[in-house]
């Protein structure tokens, strides 16, 4: 029985590898359809926060004239969209449409006594035309809260009394200001509206009326304001589903804000209800705008402006961003005794030959209202997914078999059964776990095969060759790319492109292949029985520990912690490294990863060359696992276009091979000098 199994196990190696190759061939069309999907949305929209403009204008001597002048400058700079929020009494006051008073202020104004127990809000409409359009909005907004309102006037100027304290009343959300929206539309701006879930209770009738009016004004996209989407409730999804129906009715989509600390509640459900009529949004925050406020000298300011332009270009070209949201605030300059703002600096970052808009257009994009991707998903993808299902299990089985060859067939069969069960329970969980497993196994298997090949060259005492070493790097990279192709196929869904779902296990991807490859080189590289390998592990565990070992372990742990701190979106980099990154980005347009072309690939090439003569040079090849897992991680950023990722890793391999060849040349010079000048 065991002999029969081992015989079948030995024979299965070849056809399991053929299954992997078949899986790659079957998934390549899926990759092509993803590339087609990514190329369907080419319009990029720059949106400015109109509320911020009002707040800046409040510090100017002629607020309305200032707003009009800035709107003209925005259009000239390429900003053709403005974001309008749900209005508040405070915002209507900033717009100079109403005046707001507390009970005490109203008493001083009218010279009429008011009850000492009264704490109401008094408003007067600044313009006669504003009253008929704004009064119903204010009355309706406070009626939803159960707050009474009644007419009030002063010297023939009409107003309202709101039975709520002025501080609290000024924060309550109302419908967006229709006068402002009409004015902005007439000036040629596209409108984007920010809606929250703060208008409670949710009313489908009121929302239908609001969305109908927004649709008439040309609004085709909203940005969620706050932590919850309109209609969200922790108790049930009834209102959320109704909100989705209304958005579909008026052909209004959403914008997904990238890099939020936590997802907006209900966003994924609402996005699904509107068939993913969603675009990705990059936010240039008020804190970002503060850096451009003009407090630095001109040279420093120009550098910051250029950095902002680079940031906008990178967001659009590298992360599928189609909407850039610009914020600005007034800042107090104590030294000069004035209030300043970053508006002119923002305009400079967008306009001019080196400005973001010119570079974005040269990259093949156009300026206009942001549109969602058109997803290509042919029916034959079901067949490709079935082949990919088995091929992914094959990659994991081959990796396990590199350590325990006798388990190849067992792991493959058991993996098929387990994966099938997991897929039935949850296809989403199956896709994420399988993608993580393949992402870990592909670079691990690639390095193991490289170690075997290099060790074979050492055993055969073949002549070292630079081309042999570079060829080994290319072959190893191609094996790692098997994992890349499979990850794209497994997670080929619009939810990953929009980062509503993400590739899970990035820290494991950056650490586990290193551990597995090191374990293989230390304990499984040589032909040995399980008992012999266990004895080797036992000897290592029973070795006396000295201070040098403790110090070395501390250094290794510190290195691992630093390495892991560099992964993901929160990774930190020094100012010098940021400058070097900017230089690469500006020069190459697509920046290769530093740890690939400057560290891992060169060490791999040098190790492949030296391993022919020096057995311990295999540890340099082991260092190359960082570059291989980085290749997989590059494509695991599923919001980045495939072509961009492919260019990035191609640059990494080419530059890494060149630097590796230079290291080999340096080694030859040092080696010759050593033999010549150092007596043996």
With a CB cutoff of 8 Å and minimum separation 6, the contacts of 656 are 473, 596, 597, 598, 600, 601, 602, 604, 605, 627
Same domain, 161 and 217: no
Return the SS3 of 46. Answer: strand
Q: Is residue 57 assigned to a domain? A: yes
Measured at the CA of 228, the angle between CA 223 and CA 231, to 5 degrees, comes to: 90
Measured at the CA of 375, the angle between CA 322 and CA 651, to 5 degrees, comes to: 65
List 382's β-bridge partners, or say none.
none
Q: What is the pLDDT of residue 570?
A: 47
Whether omega before 201 lies within 30 degrees of 0, making that bond cis, reads yes
Report the CATH number that the domain containing residue 349 is assigned in CATH: 3.20.20
Q: Is residue 63 assigned to a domain? A: yes
Nearest to residue 272, comparing CAs of 490, 40, 493? 493
Same domain, 92 and 223: no
What CA–CA distance (Å, rounded) separates 430 from 424? Answer: 9
Return the SS3 of 254. Answer: strand
Same domain, 619 and 528: yes
Same domain, 354 and 420: no
Domain termination residue (choose one: 367, 396, 420): 367
Same domain, 160 and 213: no
Nearest to residue 343, comparing CAs of 412, 380, 290? 290
What CA–CA distance (Å, rounded) separates 141 from 135? Answer: 10
User: CA distances (Å), 531 to each of 403, 411, 523, in order?
Assistant: 14, 21, 11
Domain termination residue (choose one: 367, 401, 426): 367
Same domain, 360 and 286: yes
Same domain, 524 and 595: yes
Q: What is the pLDDT of residue 301?
A: 86
Same domain, 122 and 214: no
pLDDT for residue 507 is more than 90: no
Decide which of 442 and 559 is more confident.
442
Reported as a single tens digit per residue, the pLDDT across 556-612 is 556 556 555 556 544 555 667 667 777 777 778 788 988 898 889 999 999 999 888
Instruction: Report CA 39 to chain centroid distance, whole Å.
Output: 18
What CA–CA distance (Å, rounded) separates 15 from 103? Answer: 85
Least confident of 111-115, 357-361, 528-532, 592-596: 528-532
Within 10 angstroms of residue 392's Cβ, the number of other Cβ atoms is: 30
Domain termination residue (choose one: 136, 155, 174): 174
Q: Is residue 372 assigned to a domain? A: no
> If you average pLDDT over every residue of the chain, what do you get?
87
The alpha-carbon radius of gyration of the chain (Å, integer) is: 32
Reported as a single tens digit per residue, the pLDDT across 240-296 is 999 999 999 999 999 999 988 889 999 999 999 999 999 999 999 999 988 887 666
Nearest to residue 221, comparing CAs of 245, 187, 256? 256
Q: What is the pLDDT of residue 3?
A: 83
Same domain, 170 and 306: no
Measured at the CA of 607, the angle between CA 631 and CA 588, to 5 degrees, comes to: 40
Q: Is residue 419 assigned to a domain? A: yes
User: How long a stretch of residues is the chain?
Assistant: 680
Confidence of residue 679 (pLDDT cuts 50, 70, 90): low
Q: Is residue 500 assigned to a domain? A: yes
Same domain, 118 and 252: no
Q: Where are the alpha helices (DSSP H) in 250-380?
A: 267-273, 286-291, 298-319, 343-350, 356-362
Reported as a single tens digit per residue, the pLDDT across 350-361 is 998 889 999 999
Q: Is residue 373 assigned to a domain? A: no
Extract long-range pairs of 207-210: CB within 8 Å, 24+ residues apart.
207/231, 207/242, 207/243, 207/246, 208/246, 208/249, 210/175, 210/176
Nearest to residue 437, comparing CAs of 453, 418, 458, 460? 418
- List the domain range (segments joined by +) for residue 75: 43-86+180-367
pTM for this model (two decimals): 0.88
Same domain, 13 and 96: no
Note whether 462 and 612 are within 8 A (CB): yes
Buried b (16+ CB within 10 A) or exposed e, 491-525: bbbbbbbbbbbebbbbeebbbbbbebbeebbebbe
**Tally of domains in the chain:** 3
Same domain, 211 and 356: yes
Nearest to residue 23, comparing CAs of 487, 387, 438, 490? 387
Q: What is the pLDDT of residue 231?
A: 92
What CA–CA distance (Å, rounded) separates 625 from 4? Answer: 36
Rounded average pLDDT over 399-416: 91
Nearest to residue 455, comparing CAs of 623, 613, 605, 601? 613
Map tokens 């266990």 to a residue. 534
Rounded average pLDDT over 484-492: 93
Q: What is the pLDDT of residue 506?
A: 86
pLDDT for residue 147 is more than 60: yes
What CA–CA distance (Å, rounded) separates 630 from 628? Answer: 5
Q: What is the pLDDT of residue 328?
A: 93
List 283's β-bridge partners, or say none.
325
pLDDT for residue 648 is more than 60: yes
Reported as a single tens digit per residue, the pLDDT across 58-89 is 888 899 999 999 999 999 999 999 999 999 99
Return the SS3 of 282. Answer: strand
């Amino acid at each position: 029985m065991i002999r029969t199994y081992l015989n079948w196990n030995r024979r299965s190696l070849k056809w399991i590898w053929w299954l992997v190759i078949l899986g790659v061939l079957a998934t390549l069309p899926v990759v092509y359809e993803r590339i087609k999907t990514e190329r369907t949305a080419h319009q990029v929209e720059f949106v400015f926060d109109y509320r911020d403009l009002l707040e800046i204008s409040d510090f100017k001597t002629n607020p309305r004239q200032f707003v009009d002048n800035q709107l003209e400058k925005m259009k000239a700079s390429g900003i053709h969209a403005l974001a309008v929020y749900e209005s508040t009494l405070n915002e209507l006051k900033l717009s100079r449409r109403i005046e707001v008073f507390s009970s005490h202020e109203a008493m001083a104004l009218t010279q009429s006594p008011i009850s000492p127990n009264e704490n109401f809000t008094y408003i007067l409409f600044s313009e006669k035309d504003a009253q008929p359009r704004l009064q119903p909005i204010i009355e309706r907004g406070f009626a939803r809260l159960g707050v009474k309102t009644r007419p009030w006037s002063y010297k023939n100027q009409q107003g309202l009394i709101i039975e709520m304290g002025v501080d609290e009343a000024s924060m309550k959300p109302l419908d967006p200001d229709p006068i402002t929206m009409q004015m902005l539309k007439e000036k040629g701006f596209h409108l984007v509206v920010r809606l929250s879930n703060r208008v409670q209770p949710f009313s489908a009738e009121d929302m239908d009326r609001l969305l109908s009016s927004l649709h008439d004004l040309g609004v085709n996209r909203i940005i969620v304001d706050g932590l919850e989407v309109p209609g969200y409730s922790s108790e049930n999804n009834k209102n959320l589903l109704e909100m989705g129906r209304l958005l579909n009715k008026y052909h209004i989509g959403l914008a997904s804000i990238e890099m939020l600390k936590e997802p907006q509640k209900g966003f994924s459900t609402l996005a699904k209800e509107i068939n993913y009529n969603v675009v990705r949004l990059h936010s240039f925050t008020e804190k970002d705008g503060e850096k451009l406020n003009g407090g630095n000298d001109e040279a420093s300011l120009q550098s910051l402006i250029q950095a902002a332009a680079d940031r906008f270009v990178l967001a659009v070209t590298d992360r599928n961003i189609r909407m850039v949201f610009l914020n600005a605030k007034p800042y107090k300059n104590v030294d000069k005794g004035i209030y300043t703002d970053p508006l002119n600096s923002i305009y400079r970052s967008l306009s001019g030959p080196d400005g973001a808009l010119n570079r974005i257009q040269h990259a093949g994009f156009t300026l206009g209202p942001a549109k969602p991707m058109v997803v290509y998903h042919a029916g034959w993808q079901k067949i490709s997914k079935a082949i990919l299902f088995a091929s992914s299990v094959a990659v994991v089985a081959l990796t396990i078999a590199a350590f325990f060859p006798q388990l190849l067939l067992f792991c493959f069969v058991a993996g098929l059964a387990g994966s099938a069960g997991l897929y039935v329970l949850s296809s989403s969980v199956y896709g994420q776990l399988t993608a993580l497993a393949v992402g870990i196994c592909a670079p691990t298997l690639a390095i193991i095969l490289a170690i075997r090949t290099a060790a074979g060259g050492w055993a055969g005492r073949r002549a070292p060759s630079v081309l042999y070493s570079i060829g080994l790097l290319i072959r190893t990279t191609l094996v790692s790319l098997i994992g890349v192709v499979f990850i794209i196929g497994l997670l080929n869904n619009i939810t990953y492109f929009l980062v509503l779902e993400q590739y899970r296990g990035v820290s494991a991807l950056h650490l586990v292949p290193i551990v597995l490859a090191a374990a293989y080189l230390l304990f499984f590289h040589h032909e040995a029985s399980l008992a012999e390998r266990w004895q080797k592990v036992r000897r290592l565990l029973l070795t006396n520990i000295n201070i040098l070992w403790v110090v070395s372990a501390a250094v290794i742990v510190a290195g691992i912690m630093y390495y892991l701190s560099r992964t993901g979106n929160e990774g930190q980099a020094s100012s010098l490294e940021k400058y070097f990154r900017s230089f690469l980005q500006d020069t190459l347009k697509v920046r290769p990863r530093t740890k690939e072309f400057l560290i891992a690939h060169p060490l791999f090439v040098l190790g492949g060359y030296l391993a022919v003569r020096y057995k311990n040079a295999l540890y340099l090849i082991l260092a190359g696992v960082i570059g291989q897992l980085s290749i997989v991680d590059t494509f695991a950023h599923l919001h980045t276009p495939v072509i961009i990722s492919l260019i990035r890793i191609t640059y990494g391999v080419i530059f890494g091979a060149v630097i590796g060849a230079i290291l080999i040349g340096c080694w030859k010079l040092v080696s010759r000098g050593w033999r010549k000048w150092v007596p043996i």
